[in-house]
Amino acid sequence: MPANKKYLSSPGQRVLKISAGILGGYLLTMLFHNAIGIHLNYKGAIALTSAFSAFFMWVALMIFAFVSKNGWKIWGIYLALILVCGIIIYLGL
């Protein structure tokens, strides 16, 4: 039995959601962990912590991207958060 068409997104939105979930989620996860790592004195802790928490965060960001209705909004949210994390890393705040 085929799915109801009103619950399916357009092919363009699917591409945006998939790319935001995979690429945007990965970039946001890594920059977030690097931004946290700047504030730690023991730099080895971020490597140990991110080995586990980065995977879970990336999966959560992928699920959030796939559940949303608009891929453009997800890309906007992810790019804004990536920019914030990048500024934190660059300025060392």
pLDDT in tens, 13-37: 888 899 999 999 999 999 998 888 8
Distances, alpha carbon 69 to alpha carbons 1, 28, 74, in Å: 23, 20, 9
- The highest-confidence range among 17-21, 48-52, 80-84, by mean pLDDT, is 80-84
Q: What's the pTM?
A: 0.83
CA dihedral 46, 52, 54, 57 (to 10 degrees): -130
Give the orientation angle of helix 43-67 with respect to helix 11-19, to 10 degrees: 170
What percentage of the chain carries pLDDT values higher than 90?
A: 46
Task: Return the closest-CA partner of residue 33 out of 78, 85, 75.
Answer: 85
Q: Quickly count: other Cβ atoms within 10 Å of residue 15's Cβ.
A: 12
Domain residue limits, the chain: 23-91
